């Protein structure tokens, strides 16, 4: 016989269950399409446009969605925050820490792990090099601007990631960098320099055990000290570090399943 508490926990109004199911439907559609509007939402739910609009407006009010333009919605800030937290819970940030230290010691530059927060690359972990008089300092939590090496990695491997698509407002930038993005996809490395800051960054993708891009691992240093060749020792060490993080994730998952 079911206990009183068991029954109480299952006593959920059917209308609430339907609302949750419909929200999940819309989020799945959003994940597939990158954005949704009232028409596509209504078709997905099998409801009228006014009902679909109420769902979208409510999801926007709670941070699940945000407007891309007047009629179209994309992933909201709450989903971005939850996605970042989920990656952290997967352990990639903690598992990467000792590997980043080894990479930094070998190349003698600052090493940065960046994840995608739903809108921009965000610095999740830093191992700062102090072996040189001139080195680069980066604060954890910093949001990186479009066109950085890490941003280019996420952009280039967008189809191999569960991250939402880039906003159409950035389409001009994407078109201007398409040749370079193709090179990043071909070589598996992004190298970007800032003449004004005197800094160069070299970044490679970090993949989970299913091969999906979940982060970018980068070396950041003074331009004159960081090579800009895609077959340099820095690139080789970064790739080894990225593979080591993936292996650490695999070992962690296998250990948890035992």
Determine the structural domain holding residue 89 and report its residue range: 83-257
- The larger pLDDT score, comparing residue 255 to residue 201, is at 201
What tens digit of pLDDT does each residue of 103-148 get? 999 999 999 999 887 667 888 889 998 888 777 888 887 888 888 9
The per-residue pLDDT of the chain, averaged, comes to 83
Length of the chain: 258
- Together in a domain, 87 and 173: yes
- Together in a domain, 240 and 167: yes
What tens digit of pLDDT does each residue of 32-91 get? 777 899 999 999 999 999 999 999 999 999 888 888 888 889 877 777 667 666 655 557
Asked whether the predicted pLDDT for residue 5 surpasses 90, the reply is no
- Kind and range of the H or E run holding 35: none
Number of domains forming the structure of the chain: 2
- Together in a domain, 17 and 71: yes
DSSP summary character for residue 93: H
| 3-state secondary structure (DSSP) of residue 226 | coil
- Together in a domain, 181 and 246: yes
Asked whether the predicted pLDDT for residue 258 surpasses 70, the reply is no
- Which residue in 141, 90, 145, 146 sits closest to 112, CA to CA? 141
- Residue in the structure block whose two tokens are 């407002």: 169
- Together in a domain, 59 and 114: no
Domain end, chosen from 29, 44, 75, is at 75
User: How many CA within 13 A on the CB side of residue 143?
Assistant: 7
């Amino acid at each position: 016989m079911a206990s009183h508490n068991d029954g109480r926990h299952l006593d959920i109004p059917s209308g609430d269950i339907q609302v949750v199911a419909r929200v999940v439907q819309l989020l799945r559609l959003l994940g597939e399409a990158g954005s949704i509007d009232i028409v596509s939402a209504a078709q997905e739910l099998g409801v009228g446009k006014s009902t679909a609009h109420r769902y979208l407006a409510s999801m926007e009010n709670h941070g699940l969605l945000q407007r891309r333009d007047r009629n179209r919605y994309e992933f909201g800030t709450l989903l971005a925050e939850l996605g970042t937290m989920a990656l952290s819970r997967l352990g990639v940030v903690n598992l990467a820490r000792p590997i980043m230290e080894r990479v930094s010691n070998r190349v003698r530059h600052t090493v940065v792990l960046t994840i995608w927060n739903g809108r921009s690359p965000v610095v999740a972990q830093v191992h700062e090099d102090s072996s040189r008089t001139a080195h680069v300092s980066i604060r954890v939590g910093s949001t990186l601007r479009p066109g950085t090496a890490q941003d280019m990695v996420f952009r280039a491997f967008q189809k191999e990631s569960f991250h939402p698509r880039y906003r159409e407002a950035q389409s001009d930038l994407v078109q201007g960098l398409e040749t370079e993005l193709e090179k990043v996809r071909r070589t598996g490395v992004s190298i970007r320099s800032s003449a004004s800051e005197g800094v160069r960054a070299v970044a490679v993708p970090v993949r989970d055990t299913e091969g999906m891009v979940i982060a970018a691992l980068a070396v950041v240093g003074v331009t004159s000290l960081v090579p800009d060749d895609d077959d340099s020792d820095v690139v080789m060490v970064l790739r080894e570090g990225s593979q080591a993080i993936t292996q650490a994730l695999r070992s962690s998952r296998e250990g948890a399943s035992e």
